[in-house]
Amino acid sequence: MTVSREFLAGLPKAELHVHHVGSASPRIVAELAARHPNSPVPADAAALAEYFVFTDFAKFIDIYLTVVDLISTPEDVRLLTYEIAREMAAQNIRYSELTVTPFTSVTRGIAPEAFCEAIEDARTAAEKELGVTLRWIFDIPGEAGIPAAIETARIATEIRPDGLIGFGLGGPEIGVPRPQFAPYFDAARAAGLHSLPHAGETTGPETIWDALRVLKAERIGHGTSAMQDPALVDYLGEHRIPLEVSPTSNLATQVVRSYDEHPLRAMVDAGLVVTINTDDPPMFGTDLINEYAVATELLDLDEEGAAELSRTAVRVSFAEDSIKQSLLTEIDDYVTKTKS
């Protein structure tokens, strides 16, 4: 069965796995590039579409970091953050836990206090003006190692902007073992933040086990390789640990070769909790509406099934209870209205 894009576009949605810089659309990147003409990133939107073509995960990281270089002032941070919220609003994304990497901006000369002030200013404006509620997950860029972990943990626990709810770990997995980051996750958890690392995207199930056992993960970013280990599948199911699944991202970075080979259906059939996300949407030529379309086709869902995907994201989010209840009611009202 097919769920119409019109229904999916109007469906109130929550997104739990989406990156701050990785959400910079060609429109936003062109505006940033125009402000920094010495960047290798083109300021022309058409040229940007070609620039964003990559062949593997490593090339994606290279391109991603050139976009990071465009964000060199607090004003850039504020612009990026608010404009991301504007594009979320256009998709009827009502709540998002945005993964933010302060370390990459701080090392480029932005004071951490100014960085946090910029994202918070954008957050409060987005909620008031756009109806989009944002919360932050501060993640360690794994390729930068222990220095990045130290600084990210410091910013998260000492400066700690009001919207911060989680502590994560992103970047390449190969050659970046998870256990080395345990002390910094321990500190974040002691400060009341949730453990939300990436794991099992480009590596096998052992990375997911490390995230669970060592980093005490409460959700798993990607978890694409989880189905390779029956014991892990049993553990994830028994403990109801959600997976943040991003089908088009996995295809674009060649983690899977086709949608048909994606493990999403197997995850759901095994009774695992899954949420649908974009990861780095414009860099992968997608948005959350499209990811829902992909998911509903792979899972053979009707409109009620699509709505349940959105409800699941709300339920396993770390939004305040009042926000959860309001958004769940909004989803129910939307489904009722579309049936009448």
Active site residues: 201
Beta bridge partners of 229: none
If you write DSSP's letter for every residue of 108-133 in order, what string do you get?
TT--HHHHHHHHHHHHHHHHHHH--E
Q: Rounded to an integer, what distance in angstroms lies between the CA atom of residue 173 and that of residue 135? A: 25
Q: Cβ neighbours of residue 172 under 8 Å, at least 6 residues apart? A: 57, 58, 61, 142, 143, 202
Q: Cβ neighbours of residue 337 under 8 Å, at least 6 residues apart? A: none
Which two tokens mark 3?
Answer: 């769920």
| CB distance 227 to 265 below 8 Å | no
| Among 245, 235, 250, residue whose Cα is nearest residue 274 | 245
DSSP category for residue 279: B
Q: Rounded to an integer, what distance in angstroms lies between the CA atom of residue 143 and that of residue 155? A: 18
Cα-based distances in Å from 6 to 2, 213, 316: 11, 42, 25
Q: Rounded to an integer, what distance in angstroms lies between the CA atom of residue 94 and that of residue 89? A: 7
Phi, psi values for residue 93, rounded to 5°: -80, 115
Q: Cβ neighbours of residue 282 under 8 Å, at least 6 residues apart? A: 22, 23, 24, 25, 26, 29, 52
Element (H, E) at 245: strand 243-245
Which two tokens mark 232?
Answer: 């892990």
